[in-house]
Amino acid sequence: MILGESVRQVVYFHLERIGPLKRNMIADNPKAFSSGLERIFGAGAKVVEKSIVKQLYFKLGLEYVEKTEYSFEDYVKEAKAKRRKKA
């Protein structure tokens, strides 16, 4: 995990404030989430996004394969599609 619990709470707070993007809306709005991370972390958002994607795939029992042409949104959409196929 790249972010501790307190940092995650700060991120959620800022996403709601600047977004507005509530925590329960993130899975349905990965593009808005990514934009919010960029506003908070600047270029460092890519590192945070990659860590989140890897953790997401791990939790869903999916194999993570890095694809240079993929955005954060692409990875989330792919994970959702793969999860549906597994169910």
pLDDT digits (tens, 9 = 90+) for 4-61: 888 888 888 988 888 778 888 888 999 999 999 999 999 999 999 999 999 999 999 9
pLDDT band at 87 (very low <50, low <70, confident <90, very high): low
CB of 59 closer than 8 Å to CB of 79: no
Read off the tokens for 35: 């934009």
CATH architecture of 5-86: Orthogonal Bundle (1.10)
| pLDDT band, residue 2 (cuts 50/70/90) | low
Contact in structure between 29 and 21 (CB atoms under 8 Å): yes
pLDDT reading at 63 higher than 90? yes
Q: Model pTM?
A: 0.85
Q: How far apart are CA 74 and CA 60, in angstroms?
A: 16
The end-to-end CA distance of the chain, in Å, is 26
- Backbone φ and ψ for 61, nearest 5 degrees, come out as 70, 30
